[in-house]
């Protein structure tokens, strides 16, 4: 340890997914090089004075600059999206390279690199979205992309332009098993939604609140169960994303109790929003909370809190899907009184994800700080093959860190956020925690209420094959390996 540290953080009250400990943190060249008491002086020093210091957040589910084909446009690109993320304590993001039907998967990934390049201020990686699993995609493109570090992808059971048939779903799972990739599943039954939507529209029910009625929980429960069954058939782990309430939670718990490697992700909207936020008849502000699956009721919020506490979920993501409200390319693409089925799905939340869970989870005693770290960072980094470089406070890890201010009394106001959306669905919620400083590879990008980053500071991270994607058994009882 002969050279001087670039930065020493003194008196940190460090929290990891496993432990809490008091330490100084010595950083050189963007990496944590030493942990211990009374480290030698750094060129720069920060006194954390006993404040909680956690690994920077890894947001494993957010959408930036994702191409659409319905006249809408995402409000955040990699510039505003990563800026907003880092101001709320997130230092790594994993948005989605979407394959349009008829498009090569490689082209989709190359196009997404063009959108991201020189814009992100924090490190990033990509999940792929597979909407067209042709023979070429399954046999060549997907294996090659996985070997190059794109080791996770999302598949959909709803949306006409994205959904896979059951057979396609199984074929894709088989490739994931062979190649060691993590599969994320959007679990909602498309035909049930179409049938319900048709009935509601025929009855003249078009207001935003009917979005929730068109996708009742059984729609999510059925698809979750089907996805779990396919995963069991193929013997491959999967992650059910954006779980909204009791019925999907029960399916995941049932699968886990059978010993299946089924993981769950939930998001702030299922803790802090409810179907009431979609408004009443003739209330079009409710479009601000249209996302899928929809927010449920207060009882289901409690179910999600309980499942976070009991360890059913491994991942807490924002599902930041940014569409402006008063914008003909946003929620009002079909006018200012759109029918619920014509409203862009998704809400912003990349900046508020970590403070909401710290404030209302850790500081209220609902979850431990170690659980917070695991859900927002460590387990996410493991789930997507970027641990231990990301997701830990350890010698050799990137110096992506958050020093928390837990004495603050603030109220979420969209004017204070750094995304490019004209609203936040969390407006008015009280918080007692916000990052005082967020460091990305040792550089303070958020400090004293100021964003200090600039475009292009972030790097693309190729991912390893994730350990949690390993099949349960080497030979599936349903598959003859010789076939």
Q: Give 292 or 379: the residue with its C-beta nearer to ligand DUC.
A: 292
Among residues 221, 293, 229, the alpha carbon closest in space to that of 255 is found at 229
Neighbours of 447 (CB within 10 A): 15
Please identify which residue in 90, 274, 287, 345 interacts with ligand DUC, judged by CB under 6 A.
Answer: 345
In the shown chain, the binding pattern of residues 235 to 274 toward ligand DUC, with x for contact by CB under 6 A and - for none, equals -------x--------------------------------
Secondary structure class of 364 (helix, strand, coil): coil
How many alpha carbons lie under 13 Å from residue 292 in its C-beta half-sphere?
Answer: 26
Q: What does the alpha-carbon distance between residue 159 and residue 215 come to, in Å, rounded to a whole number?
A: 12
Alpha helices in 317-368 (DSSP H): 353-357
Please identify which residue in 123, 141, 319, 398 interacts with Zn ion, judged by CB under 5 A.
Answer: 319
Please identify which residue in 60, 245, 286, 346 interacts with ligand DUC, judged by CB under 6 A.
Answer: 346
In the shown chain, the binding pattern of residues 154 to 193 toward Zn ion, with x for contact by CB under 5 A and - for none, equals --------------------------------x-------
Based on the shown chain and the rule CB under 6 A, indicate whether residue 321 belongs to the binding site for ligand DUC.
Answer: yes
Among residues 112, 27, 11, the alpha carbon closest in space to that of 444 is found at 27
DSSP string, 174-231: HHHHHHT-EEEEE---HHHHHHHHHHHHHTT--STHHHHHHS-HHHHHHHHHHHHHHH
Q: Give 350 or 369: the residue with its C-beta nearer to ligand DUC.
A: 350
Contact between 146 and 126 under an 8 Å Cβ cutoff? The reply is no
Q: C-beta of 228: minimal distance to ligand DUC in Å?
A: 18
- At 177, give phi and psi (nearest 5°): -65, -45
Tell me the site size for Zn ion, rule CB under 5 A: 2
Among residues 59, 88, 166, 102, the alpha carbon closest in space to that of 352 is found at 88
Based on the shown chain and the rule CB under 6 A, indicate whether residue 189 belongs to the binding site for ligand DUC.
Answer: no
Residues 47-106 that bind ligand DUC (CB under 6 A): none
Please identify which residue in 206, 214, 224, 292 interacts with ligand DUC, judged by CB under 6 A.
Answer: 292
Based on the shown chain and the rule CB under 6 A, indicate whether residue 319 belongs to the binding site for ligand DUC.
Answer: yes
Based on the shown chain and the rule CB under 6 A, indicate whether residue 163 belongs to the binding site for ligand DUC.
Answer: no
Interacting residues toward ligand DUC by CB under 6 A:
186, 242, 291-292, 319, 321, 345-346
Interacting residues toward Zn ion by CB under 5 A:
186, 319
């Amino acid at each position: 340890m002969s050279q001087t540290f670039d930065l020493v953080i003194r008196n940190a009250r460090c929290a990891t997914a496993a432990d809490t400990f008091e330490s100084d943190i010595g950083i050189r060249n963007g990496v944590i090089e030493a942990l211990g008491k009374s480290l030698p002086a750094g060129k720069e020093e920060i006194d954390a004075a006993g404040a909680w210091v956690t690994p920077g957040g890894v947001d494993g589910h957010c959408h930036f600059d994702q191409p659409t084909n319905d006249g809408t446009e995402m409000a955040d690109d990699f510039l505003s999206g990563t800026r907003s993320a880092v101001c709320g304590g997130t230092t790594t993001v994993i948005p989605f390279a979407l394959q349009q039907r008829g498009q090569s998967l490689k082209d989709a990934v190359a196009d997404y690199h063009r959108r991201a390049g020189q814009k992100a201020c924090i490190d990033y990686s990509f999940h792929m979205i597979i909407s067209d699993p042709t023979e070429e995609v399954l046999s060549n493109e997907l294996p090659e992309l996985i070997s190059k570090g794109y080791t996770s992808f999302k598949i959909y059971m709803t949306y006409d332009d994205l959904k896979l048939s059951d057979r396609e779903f199984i074929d894709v799972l088989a490739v994931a098993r062979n190649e060691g990739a993590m599969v994320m599943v959007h679990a909602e039954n498309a035909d049930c939604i179409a049938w319900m939507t048709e009935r509601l529209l025929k009855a003249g029910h078009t207001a935003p609140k009917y979005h929730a009625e068109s996708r009742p929980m059984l729609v999510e429960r059925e698809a979750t169960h089907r996805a779990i069954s396919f995963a069991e058939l193929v013997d491959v782990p999967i992650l059910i994303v954006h779980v909204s309430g009791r019925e999907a939670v029960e399916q995941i718990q049932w699968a886990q109790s059978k010993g299946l490697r089924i993981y769950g992700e939930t998001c702030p909207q299922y803790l802090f929003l409810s179907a009431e936020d979609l408004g009443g008849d003739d209330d079009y502000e409710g479009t601000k909370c249209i996302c899928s699956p929809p927010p449920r009721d207060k009882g289901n919020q409690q179910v999600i809190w309980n499942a976070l506490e009991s360890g059913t979920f491994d991942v807490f993501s924002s599902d930041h899907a940014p569409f402006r409200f008063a914008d003909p390319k946003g929620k009002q693409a079909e006018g200012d009184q759109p029918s619920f089925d014509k409203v862009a799905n998704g809400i912003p939340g990349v900046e508020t994800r970590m403070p909401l869970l710290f404030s209302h989870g850790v500081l209220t005693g609902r979850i431990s700080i170690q659980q917070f770290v695991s859900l927002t960072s460590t387990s996410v980094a493991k789930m997507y093959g970027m641990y231990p470089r990301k997701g830990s406070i350890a010698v050799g890890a990137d110096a992506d860190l958050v020093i928390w201010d837990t004495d603050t009394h603030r109220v979420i106001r969209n004017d204070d956020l750094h995304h490019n959306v004209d609203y936040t669905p969390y407006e008015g919620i009280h918080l007692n925690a916000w990052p005082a400083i967020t460091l990305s590879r040792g550089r303070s990008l958020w400090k004293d209420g100021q964003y200090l980053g600039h475009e292009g500071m972030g790097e693309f991270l190729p991912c390893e094959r994730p350990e949690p994607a390993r099949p349960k058994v080497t030979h599936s009882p349903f598959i003859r390996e010789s076939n």
